[in-house]
Structures are given as C-alpha cells and as structure tokens.
Structure 1
C-alpha cells in the first residue's frame, strides 16, 4: 500500500497488515526476549520469565510504525503525533522558535499563537511526523526534567526538542517534542536544511510523551479538546481558516 494514491471517491486499496517495527525498537525487543528466555530456559524461573516475555511483546508494540494515508493538500496542517488533544490555547511560541534563525527564517515571532498539545500514552504510536511540507529550519534540543507531560509547565521545564519547518510559501510551522515521566530520549530523524513532506517521519519519543504544535496566526484549530488524533492523517487546521467547532462527548 505504501505510496499508493487514494481519494475520497473510492479510488485506491485498503487492506489490513501487521504494522512494521521501527529499527530503533528492534534492539530493545530482542534484548527483552533474550532476557526472558534466560529466565525460562536456563534458570527455569517461569514466574519471572513469562511476564518478561509478555513485556517483550509490549516493547515491540510500542515501537510499531504503521503506514498512514496522508492528505495531499497544501492548505492543511496535519497532526504530528498520535494521541489525545489535552490543550488548545493562545500562548507565545517558545523563545527558541521566536526570533530569526541561522538559515534566514523569521521564526514564529513573539505574539500569541494557537498551541495544540497532543498527549501520547505508552499505548499510542510514538513515531512523529511532519505537519507540513517544507524545509527544516531549526532542530533545537533542550535538556530538562521529566515531569508529567500532560502538565502545562512541561512545555517549559521538561526535556524537549523544538522543530521549525518553513513551507514553500514562506509560512513557518513550529512544533515541540516533549519528554514525559517515563520518556528518556527524543530521537530525531531530521536536521536543519532537510526537505520534508507532509506526513513524513521526523522522529520519535520513547515511552510516553507529548507534542505541541503552533498554528500560524489567523489559523484556528480544526480539532476539539479531548479528541483523539492520528499522526499524518488528522487535520489540525487549514491555513487562514478560523471557525468555531463544537463537539459533545458521548
């Protein structure tokens, strides 16, 4: 199915397949299997071996990397992460994304912008994707704490990585990968100067975390607080569109 074009008129093919495991996670899954086999076959400690074997399956599941059908429309800003929308607020962009950068971009400025925060639990896919097509202008890593990623101050105090992508029309889109209570490493797949496509894999965060997306001014959220989103597929906003959308939990 990879690379196949589909549309909303029924063209294309939809088949289920077992998600691939990202190479970053294979070593952890194989190591967990090796330890569990030692307890089962060598030490004969089944009370420890079987739970470890089950944990091995969980490790592989955490690093799953399913294919996504990415909408092909330059006006759309896509979700960079799977998870739950926990905050939609007007806040100033982080200082690392505000001013001019080394590659000549203007940054996001200091005026408040719509920030959409997406919380990823350990059960979500943790591969992050670019919300738009363009050129990577900045990848800024900030060491920090490992507080609950669902807290508002995690954006300023936790270990995090800021990414700025400049669209072909000059519009800058910023997003931040934030480590959480369990997460201990943010793994980038990109660097400044790289060209990325909307929905392209750009990194991962290990074991529970959060991603903040800063929409351009004049663009409102197309998702609701409490909504679940899918990386590379769910539309967070459409450039220049700001309308009220209401939802009811049921």
Structure 2
C-alpha cells in the first residue's frame, strides 16, 4: 500500500505539529514521565490516523461498458428516484455513497467516456447525510457520456470534516472507467445519477469499494 499524493502536505504538517508538541513537552516538563508518554502515544495515534486517511491501496480494475462501477469506498445510504435539476433536468435514479473518515478517499470514474459537463460549487459544510447537503455544500458535478451514448452524472460533496475537494477532470476530456477522477480529503459523500432504465446492483447499507463494486448495469 502506498500514500496518495494528496496526503503529502497534510502528513508533513502533522509531523511538524508532532515535533513542536513533543519539543515543548520536553522543554517545559521534562521530568513528568506520565505526560511525556501521554504525548508520545497521542502523537503516534494522530500520525497513524492521518496516514490511513491518505492510503492508496493497489486495486485491479476490471472494465466493462455495460456496468457502472462504484466511484468511492463507503456505505450506500440513498437509492431513490429523484429529479436531477443541474444538468439532466429530468428524473434519474440517485445512488449515494457515504465516505467515513476511515474509508479510502480516492474517487474513481464509474464509466469510460467523454466529460460532457463539469461544475464546481463552493458552499457550506453540512454533515454529509443532511438532506440539503447535495444542494448547499461545496461540491462538483461531472457528467460523462459513454461510447454507447449513455450518460451519467456523479457529484462529489464535501461534509463537516471534508474541507477540500480535489478533481482531475475537465469538460471534453476522455476518462477511463476505474481511474481516479478526484479526491475528497477526510471523507464525505458521492452521488451517482443513473438513467431510470438502469439496474441497481446494490442496496442501502451495503459496504462498497471504489472501482471494484458494481453499482449498476445498463439495460
């Protein structure tokens, strides 16, 4: 397992904070072993926690033009028919994956094709499961049309802890199923909007893995 490039700065800052905190403890209260060891333990836990936020496990992605891969690790929290009003302006099947702080935070393309739409929206930082988070929070919206003419939209949504969304795509670019399209630091949520005739292969409560779990199929 390797560390994702988005974690380099955060890990460096964490190491600096740990170094300063430990130096201050040694300088101010060098004889209090209980406090010193307490700071050691807290420093280790902090470093380990930040490190696992940015882990980048190796995955073998099997591509298929007839399936929609899950774009993120996490848990399925929403499966419903809804009106998608930003791009399609019609009814779609929404499948939402909640990414907790312990999940891998890499986002992967659900399908291969051309990016036909991209928008970034600054916004609030409501908890990811809040019903208005998909409309009010910081977010990106990305639509991709496959070579077969099918089109889906997926949306990165920041949450209460996630304060930075990263994306690597732009309109007109070709993307490959399973490859990274972005990263949400410290977790949050990804919504996917499928055509009404798509078959959903997951159910609410399922644990899913980005690039591995089949989210749905085109009929």
More strand by share: 2
Aligned residue in 1 for 2:3: 21
Q: Distance in 2 between matches of 1:38 and 1:144?
A: 33
Q: Distance in 2 between matches of 1:118 and 1:48?
A: 36
Q: Does 1:112 align with 2:116?
A: no
Residue 72 (structure 1) shift:
2.3
Higher relative contact order (CA 8 A, sep 6+): 2
More helix by share: 2
TM-score between the two structures when normalised by the length of structure 2? 0.91
SS of equivalent residue, structure 1 residue 112: strand
Q: Does 1:54 align with 2:36?
A: no
Please list, as runs of the form range in 1=range in 2, the aligned pairs for 1:1-250 lying within 5 A after superposition: 19-41=1-23, 43-44=25-26, 46=36, 47-95=38-86, 97-98=87-88, 110-240=89-219
**Gapped regions of structure 2 (runs ≥ 5):** 30-35
Residue 52 (structure 1) shift:
2.8
SS of equivalent residue, structure 2 residue 14: helix
Q: Distance in 1 between matches of 2:48 and 2:8?
A: 11
Q: Distance in 2 between matches of 1:57 and 1:178?
A: 25
**Gapped regions of structure 1 (runs ≥ 5):** 1-18, 99-109, 241-250
Q: How many residues align?
A: 210
TM-score between the two structures when normalised by the length of structure 1? 0.80
SS of equivalent residue, structure 1 residue 182: coil
Structure 1 residue runs of 4+, over 4 Å off? Answer: none
Residue 130 (structure 1) shift:
0.2
Q: Distance in 2 between matches of 1:209 and 1:159?
A: 11
